[in-house]
């Protein structure tokens, strides 16, 4: 007896193994291929079908193209032996969905999305490369045809549940993509597989898996997904090393000046080293800040969204702002913050990365920290610092340095004057001018070439659902709470300011 092929297994699974049903499905697929190629729709005989089913004959040329269109699996694989275990294949994706995936990769040059199984039993994937700081990562991703639903939802129907359950069952990071095809932006909407798994395991599942239309893939959601998955995978891979490394660096807090060499932590990912360096800088800053000060100013070295993502997702970055505000002698006093973002950095950054930088600065504004942004390139090389005017500067740097980080503290008048001059320059020449957070952020959006009305509207839409169902950090070192906070903050700002 001939060995059972994958073709026979797939046809039996779908109930297409009888000639009348197969002929109907093959004819539909042949028509779709003919529409794309301007060819005459082809047909096959029942005798050919039987030879294919027995594995005695491989299809040639156009017949193989039609089979791939019909089943969504490469012809060469279809005529190989079927796996011994059960394989649940997804329904073939329509042309519009495949075109949407290609358009997505064209829109974001560091993205490579293969939204369907390239081979039986192998998940689709989505690769997202770093731009300088991130290592790059790949996440399992599977697309399904969807329909528009009322109340700004899209839905994946029960016909896809058998494969959907198989796809989300493994406890690894994965993303479910729902496709409406062309005419809906990228046409793709995303939800974390962990949420889908919980939904499908419910005692009384609904007929259609709902995904908020707010979770559509665009520059904002892609930027957040890109940043979180790169940070999360890097930190998860380095978790044990980071736990030990953080404890070792804590012993260095007694030293006012130190430089931590990269060679001291061999094998760390770029993201792991960034987290370790930024954490030590944050703890050094909090440890060296004097009590009861009249005012404080922060100088931040971040000038691109990939660097500024730490403000959004790293817990220790949030602690720095809280500690700085807690040292003010008068609760009515404010902490100011400054960045240098040269025009070249804006030009070289894609929109999704500029949005991350914008969100980071907006987060500081949401914490009642007025922020100034200068553009002169020479200021981009200034180390980060927290300045207590006339008293002390706590100096830190973990960005664009060969070391994990270096830290210092000084009360020398000449250095304090230089740091005060840098802050004064940023404040006097800010591209984010305005008397209110909304006015400053609108000016910043203009400088970053972002559509203010679109940004505030999309932030409002996302904040109404929160990010937890679209993204879920696996690492204990990350949080979404402050991203949700700043999305809500921006969503409430008047678009006509």
Give the model's pLDDT for residue 497: 47
pLDDT at 101: 79
Strands lying side by side in the sheet with 296-300: 258-260, 405-410, 392-397, 384-388, 296-300, 335-340, 371-374
Pairing verdict, β 296-300 and 392-397 = unpaired
Residues 6+ apart with CB under 8 A from 248: none
Q: What is the DSSP letter of 119?
A: B
Q: Sign of the C-alpha dihedral, residues 14, 15, 16, 21?
A: negative
272 by Cβ neighbours in 10 Å (0-12 / 13-18 / 19+) ranks as: buried
Backbone angles phi, psi at 425, to 5 degrees: -65, -45
Cβ-contact 431, 422 below 8 angstroms = no
Q: What is the pLDDT of residue 412?
A: 96
Output the CA torsion 49→51→57→58 (10° steps): 20
Distance of CA 280 to the CA centre of its chain: 25
User: What integer pLDDT is reported at residue 162 of this predicted model?
Assistant: 86
Separation of alpha carbons 26 and 22, rounded Å: 6
Confidence at residue 183, expressed as pLDDT on a 0 to 100 scale: 55
At CA 200, angle to CA 194 and CA 205, rounded to 5? Answer: 145
CA distance 241 to 264: 11
In this structure, the number of other CB atoms found within 10 A of the CB of residue 319 comes to: 15
Contact 171, 210 (CB under 8 A): no
Helix axes 219-237, 452-465, angle to 10 degrees: 60
Give the mean pLDDT per block of 10 residues along the chain (497 residues): 75 84 89 83 87 78 84 80 68 76 84 70 82 95 91 91 88 91 73 90 74 95 97 96 95 94 94 97 96 93 97 96 90 88 97 98 96 97 95 96 96 96 97 96 98 97 93 94 97 69
CB-CB contact of 191 with 178 (8 Å): yes
Rounded Cα–Cα distance for residues 179 and 154 (Å): 9
Distance of CA 84 to CAs 5, 75, 264, Å? 11, 19, 48
Radius of gyration of the chain (CA): 27
CA distances from 142 to 113, 165, 187, 225 (A): 9, 12, 14, 15
Residue 127, phi then psi, degrees to nearest 5: -100, 135
Q: How far apart are CA 82 and CA 77, in angstroms?
A: 9
Verdict on whether the full-model pTM lies above 0.75: yes
DSSP 406: E
Confidence (pLDDT) at 204:
59
């Amino acid at each position: 007896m001939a060995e059972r092929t994958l073709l026979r297994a797939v046809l039996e699974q779908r109930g297409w193994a009888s000639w009348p049903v197969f002929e109907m499905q093959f004819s539909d697929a042949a028509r779709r291929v003919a529409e794309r190629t301007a060819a005459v729709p082809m047909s096959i005989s029942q005798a050919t079908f039987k030879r294919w089913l027995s594995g005695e004959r491989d299809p040639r040329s156009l017949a193989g193209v039609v089979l791939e269109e019909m089943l969504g699996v490469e012809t060469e694989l279809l005529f190989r032996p079927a796996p011994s275990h059960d394989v649940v294949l997804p329904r073939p994706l329509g042309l519009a969905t495949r075109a949407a995936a290609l358009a997505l990769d064209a829109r974001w040059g560091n993205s490579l999305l293969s939204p369907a199984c390239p081979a039986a039993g192998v998940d689709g994937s989505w690769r997202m490369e770093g731009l300088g700081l991130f290592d790059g990562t790949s996440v399992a991703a599977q697309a399904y045809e969807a329909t528009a639903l009322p109340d700004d939802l899209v839905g994946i129907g029960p016909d896809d549940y058998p494969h959907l359950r198989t796809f989300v069952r493994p406890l690894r990071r994965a993303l479910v993509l729902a496709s409406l095809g062309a005419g809906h932006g990228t046409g793709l909407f995303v939800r974390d597989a962990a949420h889908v798994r919980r939904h499908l395991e419910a005692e009384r599942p609904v007929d259609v898996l709902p995904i908020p239309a707010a979770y559509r893939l665009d520059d904002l959601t892609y930027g957040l997904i890109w940043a979180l998955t790169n940070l999360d995978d890097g930190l998860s891979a380095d978790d044990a090393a980071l736990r030990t490394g953080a404890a070792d660096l804590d012993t260095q807090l007694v030293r006012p000046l130190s430089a931590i060499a990269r060679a001291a932590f061999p094998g760390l990912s770029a993201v792991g080293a960034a987290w370790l360096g930024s954490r030590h800088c944050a703890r050094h800053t909090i440890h060296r800040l004097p009590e009861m000060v009249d005012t404080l100013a922060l100088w931040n070295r971040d000038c691109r969204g990939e660097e500024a993502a730490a403000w959004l997702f790293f817990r220790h970055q949030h602690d720095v702002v809280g500690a700085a505000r807690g040292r003010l002698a008068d609760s009515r006093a404010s902490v100011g913050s400054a960045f240098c973002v040269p025009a070249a950095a804006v030009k070289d950054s894609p929109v999704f990365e500029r949005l991350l930088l914008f969100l980071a600065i907006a987060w500081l504004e949401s914490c009642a920290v007025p922020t100034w942004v200068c553009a002169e390139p020479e200021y981009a090389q200034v180390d980060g610092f927290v300045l207590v005017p006339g008293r002390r500067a706590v100096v830190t740097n973990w960005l664009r340095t060969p070391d994990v980080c270096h830290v210092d503290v000084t009360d020398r008048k000449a250095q304090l004057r230089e740091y005060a001059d840098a802050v004064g320059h940023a404040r006097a020449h800010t591209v984010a001018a305005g008397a209110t957070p909304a006015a400053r952020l609108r000016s910043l959006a203009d400088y970053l070439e972002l559509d203010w009305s679109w940004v505030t509207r999309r932030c409002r839409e996302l904040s109404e659902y929160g990010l937890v169902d679209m993204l879920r950090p696996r690492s204990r070192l990350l949080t979404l709470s402050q991203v949700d906070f700043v999305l809500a903050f921006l969503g409430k700002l008047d678009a006509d300011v």
